[in-house]
Amino acid sequence: MISPSVQFDVPAAKPIAKMDSIHNDSHDDLPCFTINQIAYAPLDIAATGSVDFNQFAFALTPLTHGKSSVLGQCLNINDIHRIVSDVQNRLIERGFATTRVFIGDQNLSGGQLILTVVPGVIGQIKADTLNSPKPIYTDPTGLPANFNTALPFKAGDVLNIRQLETVLANLKRVPSSNADFAIMPSETGKVGASDVLIKYTASRKVRGSLSLDDSGSKTTGKYQGSTTLSFDNPTWHNDLLYLTYSRDLGNRINKNEYTNKTDKGGSENYGLGYVLPIKNTVFNANASHYTYHQTVAGVNQDYLYSGDSDNISLNASHLVHQDAKSKTWLTMGGFTKSQKSHIDDTQIDVQRRKISGWTAGIRHDIRLGQSQLNTDISIQRGTGAFNALTPPESLFNEGTDRTPIYKLNLNFAAPIKMGDNYQAGYQANLKAQYAQEALVPSERMSIGGRYSVRGFDGERTLLGDMGAILRQNVSFPIKQSNHSLYLALDAGSIAMQNKEQDNLLLGHTLVGGAIGIKGQIKPLRLNYDFFAGHPIRQPKYFGDKDWVGGMSWGWSFNQTVFKTSRQINPA
């Protein structure tokens, strides 16, 4: 599930001068004062006694530290005005859009420059729900009940645009809800206070989707169908609950291979997910159960080979930094995975697995002009929690789940201007992982298939303890439509830590390409993707297909799309 991202560019005045040139020699005729200290002071101590002025200290740092420091210089009135403008701009860039800085009456002969600050505090928080298609549940304060966990601030706190962006992201995380805000002069009459008006609407509570694709395997069902039911805001905490079910749609490939024509193979998957944002933290819980079966031909009879796996994970991401162009999160979580296999009704004990562990990482999203770069770096470590089993491979140095696994996931998107009125798009995804020891098969990196390296059917893959996958798309929108053509070029490389295992691999590298068309048929609420892939580089004996086709269809109902607007009227 993709998390919403909300960021606003707050207009700021153009910086007056660089810090290393704050003094203008053309005004040497003006009296100047040697400044040895720059500090803040409140306009009204009684009114701002609870405000922490340390949160504004960053705006003074370039003036008081390093090569750009102006301390010790003789500054005239024009220089001081430049300092005030620079500090004001820095505050606005950091999101303090209604906080004001000016020069008050003072004696500069002592070498101390005092900048008077009027903190832009929040007077009242109001809600406008008049345009909501559905009734909004309110708490005793009169605000929508889901505002309690969405707002990382309260009345009396210093107003910061970045925190308002977090509020909108929390509220708009529910797809059937919409929110925007306005900042207006406060009715409280307090100096520097502004009221925050949050406009909020909610529509349908239940959404659904159906999908069909041919991403399965021949043995367990080439054609797969899936359905998802999503429940929006079920507890009025901006939360999401979604249920998924998928299965094969009948396996009729190679139907004459086995004598048992009634049960050749199949698969089923059940999933449950829950998302809960609380102020600057988002919690995700997921659970799934997957089963498969296939008929294996024997000398005298056919055997039913089956298996099932269970996955449970709980993750949290906490927003630790946000500015006009970037966001940074710290992430952590825990997981447990188990799998079992059977031949007919007999469990294969040697194939039983249970893995548990934790993950931790950092994610950073940044806008680079018109481009977007999202970087996720994490570490995964297996433990003995939840009665995890020691894998038998570890006895022979052929696989463990207890070694650290370092992972990188990088996404980049940029427009490609082609003429005055046409723009293509470039998207790239880089995934990499590294482990110091050989891993159990479930934790290895796999390449070959539509979700890794296109151009291959996925019936055979290359597995490695470490490796990297680069997927690239160039999309060409068809004008005045919701459809686009695209070209794809993918590459992947893997390796095993155990040299004996590495030598048994057919190869280490795959390169493939694809051409396709995808889009939406809005009146029918259908989305589609058709493509044909071609292998460019592969090991000998790896595959025998020159072209691999693929398709997917999706249909959704009760889905609403909103636009975001904003209004700022500083006090």
Return the pLDDT at 465. 97
Pick 256 or 245 by higher pLDDT: 245
Report whether pLDDT(552) > 70.
yes
Amino acid at residue number 126: K
pLDDT tens across 171-211, in order?
Answer: 999 999 999 999 999 998 888 999 999 999 998 889 999 99
Return the pLDDT at 19. 46
270 occurs within a structural domain: yes
Confidence of residue 27 (pLDDT cuts 50, 70, 90): low
Range(s) of the domain holding residue 140? 122-203
Asked which of 300, 317, 342 is the last residue of a domain, the reply is: 300
Report whether pLDDT(325) > 60.
yes
Which alpha helices (DSSP H) does 24-97 contain, by range? Answer: 61-64, 77-93
Give mean pLDDT, residues 273-290.
97
Name, in order, each residue with C-beta under 8 angstroms of 401's C-beta and a sequence gap of 6 or more. Answer: 355, 357, 382, 388, 391, 439, 440, 443
Q: How far apart are CA 466 and CA 319, in angstroms?
A: 30
* Mean of the per-residue pLDDT values of the chain: 89
366 occurs within a structural domain: no
Report whether pLDDT(36) > 60.
yes
30 occurs within a structural domain: yes
Lowest-confidence segment of 135-149, 259-273, 275-289, 493-507 by average pLDDT: 259-273
Return the pLDDT at 351. 84
- 114 and 27 part of one domain: yes
Return the pLDDT at 405. 98
- 223 and 191 part of one domain: no
pLDDT > 90: what percent of the chain? 71
- 181 and 148 part of one domain: yes
Report whether pLDDT(15) > 80.
no
Report whether pLDDT(254) > 50.
no
480 occurs within a structural domain: no
Which two structure tokens, joined as six digits, stand for 514? 């694809």
Pick 399 or 316 by higher pLDDT: 316
Confidence of residue 51 (pLDDT cuts 50, 70, 90): confident
- How many domains are contained in the chain? 3
- 228 and 271 part of one domain: yes
- 231 and 199 part of one domain: no
Q: How far apart are CA 329 and CA 312, in angstroms?
A: 22
Report whether pLDDT(262) > 70.
no
CB 38 within 8 A of CB 62: no
Return the pLDDT at 466. 98
Token look-up 């024997």 returns 298
Return the pLDDT at 220. 81
- 28 and 114 part of one domain: yes
512 occurs within a structural domain: no
Report whether pLDDT(2) > 70.
no
Confidence of residue 157 (pLDDT cuts 50, 70, 90): very high
CATH number where 129 lies: 3.10.20.310
Confidence of residue 496 (pLDDT cuts 50, 70, 90): very high
Return the pLDDT at 560. 45
pLDDT tens across 522-538, in order?
Answer: 999 999 999 999 999 99
pLDDT tens across 326-373, in order?
Answer: 999 999 999 999 999 888 888 888 888 899 999 999 999 999 999 999
Give mean pLDDT, residues 268-296.
94
Pick 262 or 144 by higher pLDDT: 144
47 occurs within a structural domain: yes
The pTM score is 0.86
538 occurs within a structural domain: no
Report whether pLDDT(260) > 50.
no
Token look-up 């659904």 returns 208
Return the pLDDT at 257. 41
- 257 and 222 part of one domain: yes
- 105 and 151 part of one domain: no
Phi then psi dihedrals of residue 161, to 5 deg: -60, -35
- Integer CA distances (angstroms), 166 to 182, 278, 412, 564, in order: 15, 10, 23, 13
Q: How far apart are CA 465 and CA 159, in angstroms?
A: 48
Give mean pLDDT, residues 501-521.
96
Short-list 471, 480, 481, CA closest to 531: 471
Return the pLDDT at 350. 81
Q: How far apart are CA 495 and CA 512, in angstroms?
A: 18
486 occurs within a structural domain: no
Token look-up 């162009």 returns 325
DSSP string, 212-273: EE--S-TTT-SSEEEEEEEEESTTSSS-EEEEEEEEE----TTTTSSS--S--EEEEEEEEE
- 27 and 105 part of one domain: yes
Asked which of 72, 100, 118 is the last residue of a domain, the reply is: 118
Which two structure tokens, joined as six digits, stand for 400? 């463990």
Asked which of 71, 96, 118 is the last residue of a domain, the reply is: 118
Return the pLDDT at 17. 44
Confidence of residue 264 (pLDDT cuts 50, 70, 90): low
- 184 and 134 part of one domain: yes
Q: How far apart are CA 158 and CA 196, in angstroms?
A: 12
| 151-164 CB burial, b ≥16 within 10 A, e <16 | bbbeeebbbbbbbb
- 48 and 86 part of one domain: yes
- 104 and 40 part of one domain: yes
Pairing status of strand 526-537 against strand 122-128:
unpaired
CB 542 within 8 A of CB 460: yes
CB 113 within 8 A of CB 40: no
CB 122 within 8 A of CB 156: yes
